[in-house]
Structure 1
């Protein structure tokens, strides 16, 4: 089985019935999690047990991308247990940020930490993490395996690095917090749907998946804005959606 499950799509905080940033990538039984923001863990556990997770990637330390790493830690510590730590690939501030929510249990008892940006072998994937502009240290991600290339911008601003991360990607998942005139204005540390479309087009990506929507924003408007700069397939991610990869 190969698929990308959408755990959460909201930026900043989750709307009712939704969750913040999170994805589960299953490649022939190897389960890799991309971000674990608010309310993503229950959705993840609907798809697999905590002990079945093979690796976790966290793009940065904002809680709408990492808060439920604490919940996963507790599920592994106090649930059925796991024989070996879970590989965790993250920017340097993530462990300190999440550990601050967990004063009695040590995350390093549960996770084997590897630093992003950088290149790593993660199960069937080569993971390339590259710095992208944001309010805190942030790593965009490119995952390559036989027959699949996936890129994920996280919650970063537009940058030429995206052209390399998303080059010929089958799937480019882009955080698109901004809309024209929307929250944040023209902040170079955040990306709009039009920006995402521009970089998807330059990179030659096959499909563009929009995510990290500001609560209350018009998601179809974001799709229209992305289609103005990208002629390929554009989809607004939705909780529970599964993409064949």
Structure 2
């Protein structure tokens, strides 16, 4: 089985019935989670009882991307489960999530590796590069001999996006708002129009928009991204699955 399942698609906080950023990648029996924001753990456990995943990748320390890592820690630690999980994350994640737990430490459950960096992760080569945000954020590129998946986490426009998503079969891009804010506004996220532009520059094959501001019109986000990107545009929706195959 080679598929990606959307665990959560909201930015900032989850809408009712939804969750914040999170994706489960399953590739020939190897399971990787990308981000674990609010509400993603119960959805992960539907697919992976006891949190039985091989690796977790957390792009940055904001709670809408990492807070349910604490829940996964509790499942493993208090459940007495001894198989260790590889954790790849920016340093701030360890401080943020570790501070939630009065008993036990993350390194008792996880084998911890720092992002950005490059690693061999099961069948994938993981290349994580810094992208600008309010806190250190790592864009993630996961590649095999016949598939490339890229994910921005949260970012603003940056030349590194074109390299991160270059020729990706699936490029998951932050599309928090419909359009960019006025020039000079302090910002840390992309708009749907920009997601389409950068996916086009990267020559990605399929674009998935995610990290939607609660209440936003997602169909309009897809339409706006499609003004620049001529390939398939998907809106991340909880429970959506995408086969990881060349198109």
TM range (shorter): over 0.9
1:144 alignment counterpart? 143
SS where residue 162 of structure 1 aligns?
Answer: helix
Mapping for residues 192-231 of structure 1, pairs under 5 Å = 192-231=191-230
**Structure 2: how far apart are the matches of 1:183 and 1:50?**
46
**Structure 2: how far apart are the matches of 1:166 and 1:186?**
26
Q: 1:39 to 1:105 in 2, by over 3 A?
A: same
| Runs of 4+ in structure 1 over 4 Å off | 181-188
2:29 alignment counterpart? 29
**Structure 1: how far apart are the matches of 2:208 and 2:41?**
21
2:15 alignment counterpart? 15
2:156 alignment counterpart? 157
**Structure 2: how far apart are the matches of 1:198 and 1:137?**
23
RMSD, aligned α-carbons: 1.7
> Are the counterparts in 1 of residues 55 and 87 from structure 2 also a CA contact under 8 Å?
yes
2:49 alignment counterpart? 49
Q: Deviations over 1:140-165 (max 9, x none)?
A: 00000121100000111121101111
2:177 alignment counterpart? 178
Q: 1:184 to 1:31 in 2, by over 3 A?
A: farther
**Structure 2: how far apart are the matches of 1:72 and 1:210?**
26
> Are the counterparts in 1 of residues 142 and 149 from structure 2 also a CA contact under 8 Å?
yes
> Are the counterparts in 2 of residues 158 and 189 from structure 1 also a CA contact under 8 Å?
no
SS where residue 46 of structure 1 aligns?
Answer: helix
Aligned residues: 244
**Structure 2: how far apart are the matches of 1:185 and 1:218?**
25
Q: 1:186 to 1:211 in 2, by over 3 A?
A: farther
**TM-score normalised by structure 2 residue count:** 0.95
**Structure 2: how far apart are the matches of 1:184 and 1:121?**
40
1:191 alignment counterpart? 190
SS where residue 154 of structure 1 aligns?
Answer: coil
**Structure 2: how far apart are the matches of 1:181 and 1:54?**
37
Q: Is 1:232 the counterpart of 2:244 in the alignment?
A: no
- How far apart are residue 82 of structure 1 and its match? 2.4
Q: Deviations over 1:78-113 (max 9, x none)?
A: 225123x21100001000000111121211101111
Mapping for residues 116-127 of structure 1, pairs under 5 Å = 116-127=115-126
Q: 1:230 to 1:129 in 2, by over 3 A?
A: same
Mapping for residues 123-138 of structure 1, pairs under 5 Å = 123-138=122-137
Q: 1:182 to 1:14 in 2, by over 3 A?
A: farther
